Structure 1
């Protein structure tokens, strides 16, 4: 075997250097330092994306959410700064954009989800100006706060696309934090607020809806369900929506706005679409409990790219990391996989600056609170706000990305 072949062959290749990929690399290294691990990630920077909702609400410095990728790659792990263009599971290798072939014994896919700014005509041309913003971007989240501070009266529209997308509660969190500021400034009565939701419910887990509805009523916000944003004219400050009525009939309606917060549609990464490791939808086809691929036993997937029907959140990835690390290492030595993922996801629903409904749930909408004796999961609490704003960012950078797994083991294991 040539030196080049040896250099490009790894015990574990991790496709993607986001939260799930970096966290898994650190987790594996903490269990076995002898592993030869590579992370494939093209981006120069790594982001703590859950903070961007707080940035849009004026409660977090956006610069604190960004670090150089090279500073978060775990010690002893090889970083291949490139993009994947093709998976070849039959040969246990993959092809990179720059032409390199990388071989593996085991593959963990953590490529995340693509934020598609081109999916809504007019969005890319007007985002960041003309009152159009999004907390789904490091670049534009500060503009949300600028718009909120400057809006004295008018119409504020908030949109939510069809699932799947990262953090299903984020569209309404942007609305609540904006409303809280307008309420504090005495402007709320002069602003018409709408949440235009392509789905049919405010939140998928019904137990959390009553607490959220208290704030919808407090802020006098209008909820429009089955109402999906399809195009924007930034210069005219108009947005077009596709609306489905109770009989399933679809019509279009144009709405004027002074502020428009958009959640862009999201989809699998291009390298996974039509890939031999993905299902028809483009998601890596795994067993939702073990996170092992349904066809290739030496492939696992975690984070937003996998087919498991959990909520796509960093909190879900944090639990999945432990499952994949232990199951992968067990399979590697021909032992039974010891852990099952319970579908855990967490969505801290920021209903005002200073209070959060800490929604934690698993498969089937089962409530799985981490601190039931401390934080009431069905109420908006100050403690949940402190956890979200002050504790979770520190835990992300100093625990999750460092292989420290406090309270990360799935329940029932």
Structure 2
């Protein structure tokens, strides 16, 4: 649709999980709202499924649908990219130079995967044994490499935080090891986890269970090591460590790329520290512009950047935005909830659920599902239930288990 001189009550930047879920939550509460979603992509991806594609559990086709099939019919879809924000005039500037006016703005623009931040990585992705479950087209290559490898060295890397789904780099590793163990070749494969951070996982309650799998699979845990360069032809990876740099040979390399806020956000008036959209971590309202909210991976709230977080945030933004329209106090509070189903072996998951400052926020009582232990029930949740919740509930305003908490 044409964007020039268009004005909407609510403009949402981003048609991913957070953006569409917010539109659905708004429409559920106030169907008369004139809403636009600005989103250039023709495809919509269920990104949490890519770990399962890389582990040979899902087919990649299960994780993608045409954007037109998930874009709500009650919104105006503006299929363009945003290049700038002009909050003083309540306008968004698009790639073709046109502008969209808004009364309220919601920014749900995701995160930038900075593949070029690692020297040589972009040139070798998808070949020479170099892969990543962070891309739809590469996750099948991960599974191909896992199936082909019978001996040698497999490296798995994790960059500095924040990143999308902090557990995904090690999920790939555990599922790979589980397959190698099943085939009886794990003892012939050296598995190394090179993590730029100083701990295996940021919430201590889940570390004991994870360390049991590190020991079971014979994984070398290399902390405070950041991937800086890859030479695909030579099959070497270079890391910056506390004692300088080191270069390691590999037969398979799974990379999690460094990640930042999108460029057009970092250079905008909306950005705060680190380039993220600067919001109050409880209300998700911008700290300087009262008619702007943000959620999902692009916002500054110090929560884990996961689809589960966006699912919890969407109704909070919706209720708070509607209160702002009526010039009433904002009613809803975000507690930092995020979830990371850690696939420790095929058929079992450690279901990490936590909020701000690492507080455990389980959705189920321990007798039903203790997230600190690997369980089959958590695997069924991840493999069978959560995809249905995503496509049929989250994107359609059905807010199961995510009722907004109250402020005060």
Aligned to 2:200, the other structure's residue is in SS state coil
Match of 1:347 among 332, 337, 340: 340
Matched with 1:247 is none
Matched with 1:391 is 385
How far residue 409 of structure 1 moved from its aligned partner, in angstroms, is: 1.7
Deviations 1:111-132 (A, max 9, x none): 0001111111111110000000
How far residue 5 of structure 1 moved from its aligned partner, in angstroms, is: 8.8
How far residue 412 of structure 1 moved from its aligned partner, in angstroms, is: 6.0
1:274 and 1:280 in contact (8 A); partners too: no
> Bigger shift: 133-142 or 65-74?
65-74
Q: Distance in 2 between matches of 1:70 and 1:87?
A: 25
| Superposition pairs of residues 114-193 of structure 1, within 5 angstroms | 114-193=112-191
1:342 and 1:410 in contact (8 A); partners too: no
Q: Which runs of 5+ in 2 are unaligned?
A: none
What's the TM-score, normalizing by structure 1?
0.96
Aligned to 1:271, the other structure's residue is in SS state helix
1:277 aligns with 2:275: no
Q: Distance in 2 between matches of 1:173 and 1:410?
A: 29
Matched with 1:100 is 98
Q: Distance in 1 between matches of 2:4 and 2:124?
A: 48
Q: Distance in 2 between matches of 1:126 and 1:374?
A: 45
1:321 aligns with 2:289: no
1:300 and 1:328 in contact (8 A); partners too: yes
Q: Distance in 2 between matches of 1:101 and 1:177?
A: 46
2:156 and 2:193 in contact (8 A); partners too: yes
RMSD: 1.2
Matched with 1:267 is 260
How far residue 405 of structure 1 moved from its aligned partner, in angstroms, is: 0.4
1:12 and 1:108 in contact (8 A); partners too: yes
1:293 aligns with 2:291: no
Q: Distance in 2 between matches of 1:403 and 1:92?
A: 27
Q: Distance in 2 between matches of 1:201 and 1:273?
A: 28
Q: Which runs of 5+ in 1 are unaligned?
A: 245-249
Q: Distance in 2 between matches of 1:76 and 1:129?
A: 43
1:86 and 1:95 in contact (8 A); partners too: yes
1:344 and 1:410 in contact (8 A); partners too: no
How many residues in Structure 1 have an aligned counterpart in Structure 2?
405
Q: Distance in 1 between matches of 2:194 and 2:406?
A: 38
Aligned to 1:9, the other structure's residue is in SS state strand
Matched with 2:217 is 219
1:113 and 1:304 in contact (8 A); partners too: yes
How far residue 274 of structure 1 moved from its aligned partner, in angstroms, is: 2.2
How far residue 23 of structure 1 moved from its aligned partner, in angstroms, is: 0.6
Matched with 2:402 is 408
2:43 and 2:66 in contact (8 A); partners too: yes
1:84 and 1:95 in contact (8 A); partners too: yes
Match of 1:338 among 331, 336, 345: 331
Deviations 1:263-300 (A, max 9, x none): 01111111101210111311000000000000111000
Classify 1:159/1:24 alpha carbon distance in 2 versus 1 (closer, same or farther; 3 Å): same
Q: Distance in 2 between matches of 1:91 and 1:252?
A: 49
Q: Distance in 1 between matches of 2:274 and 2:344?
A: 33
2:278 and 2:286 in contact (8 A); partners too: yes
